[in-house]
A and B are shown apart, each in its own frame.
Chain A
Amino acid sequence: NAGVMQNPRHLVRRRGQEARLRCSPMKGHSHVYWYRQLPEEGLKFMVYLQKENIIDESGMPKERFSAEFPKEGPSILRIQQVVRGDSAAYFCASSPSVRRSGSGNEQFFGPGTRLTVL
């Protein structure tokens, strides 16, 4: 059973360009989460999606960032007009759809995309 896949693993962009990060969840998982991690920092929640729906985007910057999880294909995190401050590791995680009351679903993380903005 393949794990969460992310590509590209490394992405270099110049200021003002667009960055597209892709995430394929584990088979059977319908919940996808995106996190950003700066060096020596924890993971900061960005957005939570289910198929074709954004459930919680409270961690997403209001401008330049968007996410989608279409019916077919991977989830995409899109950053328009990148700036140097966008340089970070972006992790995607997935979890199965069913959870018992009170408990949470463990999240399975992908290997991450390291974005460098020159």
Chain B
Amino acid sequence: GQQVMQIPQYQHVQEGEDFTTYCNSSTTLSNIQWYKQRPGGHPVFLIQLVKSGEVKKQKRLTFQFGEAKKNSSLHITATQTTDVGTYFCAGQGEGGSEKLVFGKGTKLTVNP
């Protein structure tokens, strides 16, 4: 079945440093979604990427979808303490299934 791998599992940065998490699917995706979960909280939708090679920006966050629609990345510029949390990618396979397959997430901690 479809698998979604995400690296790194943990990332610890100093405030102001950049951060990147990578996501790779075993199969071609229809779309990929990114979610953020704060400690003790629930996942919150950040963005969805649909097109091959798509790049989207949200302030300091940049999301990319690979040309083959099998990988994606999230890059945060100049991290802040409010960026702390776990970032998950979630892929939806081709074929019309509504099922989302989540990566294990990257847990980001930021030292002030």
Are A and B a genuine interacting pair, yes or no? yes
Instruction: Kindly supply a per-residue 1/0 record for chain B positions 74-112, scoring 1 wherever the CB is within 8 Å of any chain A CB and 0 otherwise.
Output: 000000000000001010100001111111110100000
Neighbouring A residues of B73 by C-beta, 8 Å: none
Neighbouring A residues of B101 by C-beta, 8 Å: 45
User: In the complex, what distance in Å separates the CA atom of A41 from the CA atom of B91?
Assistant: 16
Size class of the contact patch on chain B: 20 to 34
Given A102-B30, A102-B31, verify A56-B99 contact (CB < 8 Å).
yes
Neighbouring B residues of A111 by C-beta, 8 Å: 41-42
Do A110 and B42 touch (CB < 8 A)?
Answer: yes
- Count of A interface residues, CB-CB < 8 Å: 27
Cβ distance B74 to chain A, nearest Cβ, rounded Å: 15
- Tell me the A residues contacting B by CB distance below 8 Å: 31, 33, 35, 40-45, 48, 55-56, 58, 91, 93, 95, 102-112
- Tell me the B residues contacting A by CB distance below 8 Å: 1, 6, 30-31, 33, 35, 41-45, 48, 50, 88, 90, 92, 97-105, 107
Q: With contacts A109-B42, A111-B41 known, what are 11 further pairs, Cβ within 8 A?
A: A31-B98, A40-B107, A43-B88, A43-B90, A45-B100, A58-B99, A102-B50, A104-B30, A106-B45, A107-B43, A109-B43
